Structures are given as C-alpha cells and as structure tokens.
Structure 1
Amino acid sequence: MNGDNLHHRSVPQTTTILKTTNTISINNFNLKKTAPNHDGKTSEWGGHRRWSLADASFLRWTAADAIWLFKYHPVPCFFGVALLFFMGVEYTLRMIPSSSPPYDIGFVATVYLHRLLVASPTLNTVLAGLNTVFVGMQTTYILGTWVIEGRPRATVATVFMFTCRGILGYSTQLPLPEEFLGSGADFPVGNVSFFLFYSGHVAGSVIASLDMRRMHRWELAFLFDTLNLLQVVRLLSMRGHYTIDLAIGVGAGILFDSLAGKYMNKVVAADVDDSCTTRPHLS
C-alpha cells in the first residue's frame, strides 16, 4: 500500500447523484441536467439544441452565489477587481511622449540607491562582482544537477529559457536606460552589450530555486530567493534592466521549468515504450 493509495482512501467521496431533482453534484459543484423539451429540443448532454436567452447562466445567479464566490475564491475575485481598476487607469493615463525616456516605477523606487552608486563607482563595481559570483552559483548548481546528479531538467529549462530570451530580445530591441551604470565586473563580464527583455539573471535564479524545492533543499532555495531579490534591487538601482524585464524573468523561470518537466516526462514515457517494444531481429 503506497502513499498515494492511502491518500485517496482517506478522502471522503462527495460525488452523489440526486435523482429526484435531476441534478448531479460533483464535489459540491451542481450541474443541472435539462430534461428533453416537447418541442423537439434535446438535452444539454448532447445533440442539437436551439439556445435562447432563458438558458443564460447569469439568470440563475443569486446573492448567495456571489457570497460563496468571494468566500471560497478570493484570488480570482481580487484579480477581477484589479482588472476593472487598471482598465480605468489605462483609459485615463496619458502616454509617455516618444521624446521622453520610458517611465519605470522600479527606477523611481530606487532613486536613492542609484544616486549612491553614481557617487561611489567602487561600490558599483563591488556589487557587480558579487552579482557575477551569484550568476556563477546559479550556473554551477544547474549544470551540477545534470552532470553530477543525472537530473537534466533544470539544464533543459535553462537552455529553453535563454534561447527564447535571445529570440525575443533580438525581435524587439529596447533602448538602454540613459542612467545605466556599467561595470567591467558585471555579467556579461567586460560590460558588453546584452538583451534587456527579459532578465536571464532572474529567470536562471528561479529555475535553480524551483529545482531546490523539488529536492527539498529548503534552506538553499531560501538563500537563492533572497539573493535573487537583492539582485533585482541592484539591477534596478544601476538601471541594468527595466522592471518589466525582471517581472517577466520570474514568469519565464516558472514557465520554462514547467515546459522542461513536461518534456522530460515525455522522454521518460517514450523510453518506457521503447523498452517494452519487441523489435524483430534482422537476419
């Protein structure tokens, strides 16, 4: 008896069929089955059926449904309210003139740190060097999961991520911020040019952190998340990335880790199928 089976046995079965009301209740979600009409219309479960306004779902909504929605699904409700708010912002906000530099809220939040780095080039170089060390830590861990531990998922995710970053970064080339503070100790080492969208620094950190969590290396994952947050602040302060680059970097790390997982599962399934297939020997 494995853990999965034990878990499933312990979960109460809540699926019931209420024949008297012609309603199927599945895990507290009621699905009402429409009975056949005498005018030739078939049920909702199949066949052809003419739709009318009386069939609209919202006509069956009640105040109790609204309370239940806000109580048990607060996250979608929050995003729904946020959608309405930002629709208002989008239609009333004046666009930035083409002659002006982009407006970035992350730059506004780090004005003091930016001035500090401008006044102290040595501090900027030290922080750039430390950030490069952190990038080396990411690279070492991700390659180590493949070369040492034989788990290539994080490496595959990183390859996917940087390839897509190159395509997007080349497709739409964003201007370097006017207040950019470069350093020869930064990565890419030598203060060479780089793609702004999206941040490979952040995405690589997220990929490594997700792998650590899968392996229950909680302390190491917390360390990487903390260093990643400091990296975000530093990149904003030296104007090395726009805020949107960093935010999408987080999403890219999660996305490509998931895609790499699906790819690896597909490869494993294919290997199992090959091992179970008897191939005829050629004489």
Structure 2
Amino acid sequence: MNGGATLSSGDASAVKRRRSRLTVHFDGVNGTDSNSMAKNSSLFSQASFLKWTLSDVVHVATHHWMPCLFAGGLLFFMAVEYTLLMVPSSSPPFDLGFIATRSLHRVLESSPELNNLLAALNTVFVAMQTSYILWTWLIEGRPRATISSLFMFTCRGILGYSTQLPLPQDFLGSGVDFPVGNVSFFLFFSGHVAGSMIASLDMRRMKRWELACTFDVLNVLQAVRLLGTRGHYTIDLFVGLGAGYLFDSFAGKYVEDSKKKIAKHSGNGHASKNDLVA
C-alpha cells in the first residue's frame, strides 16, 4: 500500500486497452499522422493519369478527336475572352450574324414587299411545325413532340420575361410575321428554331427522312431571315436549336417514366391504350 488505490490485474488490462485505442502513430520528425500519409500516398499512386502512356495519348488524339478539338476550343476562347474589349453600355450588341447578313438586311430594308413575302412564308412554316406536332399527338397518339413543345415554350416564357433584351437596332417588322400583327415577343430564345427542331427530331424517330431534311433546310433559311430582319440575335437562334434537343430529351424521359408507372399500377402490367402518354 503506498497511500493510493491499487489496481487489480483486470483493471490494469482495461486501462491498457483504452490507451492503445487512443494511441495515434505520429512521424517523429514532422509530427504528422503516418496512417493518413500512407492513405494519401496510396490514393495518389492509383491516380489514373499516372498510368497514361504515349500510346494512350496517341489513341485519344486519333480516336477521340472531338473532345480534343473542344479542349483546344476551350483554351482558344479563354484567350479571346480574357483579352477582348468589352462592348460599352452605350453601344449596340456585337453580333456576327448581323454582320454576315448585312447585304440581306439592306435588300429587305429597301423592299418592304419582299420582307412581307418572306415573313408570310415563315409564318406558313411555323404553321407547318405546329400542325405536325399536334398531328403526332391527336392523330398518331404520340405525345412526345407536344409535351416537348409545352416544356420548351414554358421555359422560353420564363427566361424571356426574366431578362427582356432590347429590340435590335434596324429591326424590320412585318404585320404578317409570326406572331402576326406586329405584337411584342420574347427575343431569348427563338421559338421558331426550337419548334422546328422538335418536329425534325420526331420525324427522324419515325424515319421520315425526306420530311426531316426539308424541315432542317427551311429552319436554316428561317434563321437567315430572322438575322436579316434583326428579329433575333445569333445567340437566340443557337440556344433555340439546343433547346429543341434538350426538351425533346426531357419529354422522352417523361413519356418513358409515365409508361413504367402506368404499367406498374395496371392490373395486366401494360399501359392502357386510352392513356394520353401511352
């Protein structure tokens, strides 16, 4: 007895176990956790890029040239963006599409009759898009293109109202252009281009190749006319093209998910023919 409590052999072994669990191995020089260092070393030693060889690089460059091209585009436009003089707030936007269609703009400006004729033909093309999209649902019973258009125009309305771009200078309006009657419209993004793309994608799914190619050509001509009349900025047209692809994909996923849910809850495991998305 030394005036303090003595520990039994069982208590002493319990204390040792607790101490061993609390013990951390440290590097004697740097005071770092050796276990963490080992884990980090193991992690980086397994890094994918450390296993690349020259033949791998050549293979990527020859068989995956498109991502390589985009990588070059990234570097190029980073250099352009960081050295470009910004357009002053007092100046109109810089638009390459407007520059490319200056001659067409002068022709349409000097000939209102030609401008009205092209606007009327463009309105007919919009009616063709709308008729085809509704036909696929109401007559053929395939709602994907219609749902895609609903998604697209709703999103266009939200974006167009959120950022209301100024009408381009030298805009050439027409009472027969869609929307008919010289009414106001959203610039961003082009519903003309997006609607045509949605219809064209549906035609390709149904292997209506000639009709799809016709719509694509008319869509290009439509885009040129819109630039020539200053009815849209170039960015409106390209985003409209991408929006057509995007919302067609969304609509396709929606239709497939709806079919699965309907089939799951139906008695025979199949979607009903009377369902609007079946």
TM-score range (shorter-chain normalised) is 0.7 to 0.9
1-side partners of 2:258 and 2:49: how far apart?
Answer: 45
Q: 2:48 aligns with which of 57, 61, 72?
A: 57
Number of residue pairs aligned between Structure 1 and Structure 2: 234
> What residue ranges of structure 1 are gaps of 5+ in the alignment?
1-38, 42-47, 279-283
Q: 2:148 aligns with which of 152, 157, 162?
A: 157
Q: Which residue number in structure 2 is paired with residue 209 of structure 1?
A: 200
Runs of 4+ in 1 over 2 A off after TM superposition: 48-62
Shift of 1:62: 2.2
Question: 1:271 Cα deviation (Å)?
Answer: 0.9
Structure 1 residue 54 displacement after superposition: 3.8
- Of 157, 173, 188, 1:182 maps to 173
Q: Could you tell me which of 123, 136, 148 is aligned with 1:145?
A: 136
| Alpha-carbon separation, structure 2, partners of 1:60 and 1:215 | 45
In 2, the alpha carbon distance for the partners of 1:63 and 1:163 equals: 50
Counterpart position of 1:72: 63
So what's the TM-score if we normalise by structure 2?
0.81
| CA deviation after TM superposition for structure 1 residue 254, in Å | 0.3
2:102 to 70, 91, 111: 111
Q: What corresponds to 2:120 in structure 1?
A: 129
Equivalent residue for 2:246? 255
Secondary structure of residue in 2 paired with 1:174: coil
Q: 1:100 to 1:40 in 2, by over 3 A?
A: closer
Larger radius of gyration: 2
**Structure 2 counterpart of 1:165, which letter?**
R
Secondary structure at the counterpart of residue 125 of structure 1: helix
SS of the residue corresponding to residue 176 of structure 2 reads coil
- Name which of 86, 90, 96 aligns with 2:81: 90
- Aligned to 1:219, which of 210, 214, 220? 210
Deviation at 1:249, TM superposition (A): 0.3
Identity of aligned residues (%): 65
1:231 aligns with 2:231: no
TM-score, L = length of structure 1: 0.80
Specify the code of the residue in structure 2 equivalent to 1:91. Answer: Y
- Report the alpha carbon displacement of residue 63 of structure 1 after superposing the two structures with TM: 1.7
Of structures 1 and 2, the one with the larger relative CO (CA 8 A, separation 6+) is 2
Distance in 2 (CA, whole Å) between partners of 1:96 and 1:211 is 40
Name the CA distance, whole Å, in 2 between partners of 1:277 and 1:224: 40
Over aligned residues, Cα RMSD in angstroms? 1.8
